[in-house]
Amino acid sequence: MTVKHNLTVGERMRRTEEFEVIIVGAGPAGLCAALYAGRGLLKAVVLERGVPGGEMLNTEWIDDYPGFEHVLGRDLAARMTEHARKFAADIRQENVESIARRDDGIFEIATTGGTSYEAPAVILTAGGTPTKLDVPGETEYAGRGVSYCAVCDGAFFKGEIIAVVGGGDAAVEEADYLTRYAEKVYVIHRRDQFRASRLLQERLFANPKIEVIWNKQVREMKGTPAGLETLELEDTVTGQASTLPVTGCFVFIGFRPNTGLVRQHFEHDASGYIITDDRMMTSIPGLFAAGDLRVQLTRQITTAVGDATTAAIAVEKYLADRRSALDAKAQVGV
């Protein structure tokens, strides 16, 4: 239960706005949820800490979204944003601090801007964050040779020599996948053995287009305005430096779902991804999740908007059922 006394001065000064549903995150899932909420005539707001678009803004070209054979990520993001706004989407630049559900079933969302948002339903579409190497050149060449998604960007490297960084299941599996496009794939791992499952390793070692580079770590990425050209490596045992010519580098050293905003415990898998039912409802009643932070087989724009479509329509039914329950209680004087 939310205690109304013992509030700080800052908390007492917060301005509160009420909605039927609050959408946290304005990537493809959030924008799609906003579109459907608008179609459903729900009083909704979308809270996004940056520019609408999410990871699409970090992807140069997208060629696997139906209806768009070859589109810039920022252009698709702009089109999705415009489409959502045509259905009266209220998109606000707000940095969400926390999401908490009261005993009365209302969610309170606190923001760093000082506004509190309240609603009986929340759709969490905050996505996830790929773990980066944090080396010079990585940010500069993101989308111009550096990628964090093989399915998204692999087709852009047909006939080229590329590298995969990592040693877990994702790195090993995606390296094998990328050989359908690349002429050669180097797998760079800072240790002398993989953490990946034995079956995936066997498949990788049997692939003639893959070469493993053990005990190496990337220290810098270099290139030209046209894109990535080399990786500067360091031996983790001897410290010896070397250069690897590649035109692409796929980094798979981890992915963190952005679920830390939720204050209550929710069901999740071992990696922290949210478990939902077939309506995208989490174990917290009224809290729905869509997109990359949800447990699922693959994380693509198409799956994100599919999740969001289901979540937004499910919210309509959830709110109707909630109103009916409240009306029934009022009639019996509870």
pLDDT digits (tens, 9 = 90+) for 290-325: 999 999 888 889 999 999 999 999 999 999 999 999
Digit-coded pLDDT (tens) for 98-129: 999 999 999 999 999 999 999 999 999 998 88
CA distances from 308 to 71, 315, 317 (A): 22, 10, 14
301: part of which helix (H) or strand (E)? helix 301-331
Pair of tokens at residue 59: 């992807």
Digit-coded pLDDT (tens) for 46-98: 999 989 998 888 777 788 899 998 898 899 999 999 999 999 999 999 999 99
Residues, the chain, total? 334
CA distances from 118 to 19, 101, 115, 157, 279 (A): 6, 9, 10, 46, 22
Interval 30-58 mean pLDDT = 94
Digit-coded pLDDT (tens) for 231-290: 999 999 999 999 999 999 999 998 889 898 999 999 999 889 999 999 999 999 999 999
Class of domain 9-129+255-331: alpha beta
**Every domain of the chain and the residues it spans:** 9-129+255-331, 146-251
CA distances from 52 to 6, 17, 104 (A): 36, 21, 31
Sign of CA dihedral 26, 278, 322, 107: negative
Digit-coded pLDDT (tens) for 194-203: 999 899 999 9
Half-sphere exposure of 229 (CA within 13 A, CB side): 5
Place of tokens 């992915």: 255
Sign of CA dihedral 90, 94, 96, 100: negative
**CB neighbours (10 Å) of residue 291?**
35
**What pLDDT is recorded for position 14?**
67
Write out the catalytic residue numbers: 149, 152-153
Of all residues in the chain, the percent with pLDDT exceeding 90 is: 78
Q: Compute the mean pLDDT over every residue in the chain, rounded to the nearest whole number.
A: 92
CA torsion, ordered 75, 76, 79, 83, to nearest 10 deg: -170
Q: How far apart are CA 144 and CA 150, in angstroms?
A: 14
**What pLDDT is recorded for position 1?**
35
Q: How far apart are CA 95 and CA 114, in angstroms?
A: 10
Q: How confident is the model at residue 334 (pLDDT cuts 50, 70, 90)?
A: low
Digit-coded pLDDT (tens) for 168-227: 988 999 999 999 999 999 999 999 999 998 999 999 999 999 999 999 999 999 999 999
Q: How confident is the model at residue 13 (pLDDT cuts 50, 70, 90)?
A: low
Domain 146-251 classified CATH 3.50.50.60? yes
Same fold, 9-129+255-331 and 146-251: yes
**What pLDDT is recorded for position 169?**
87
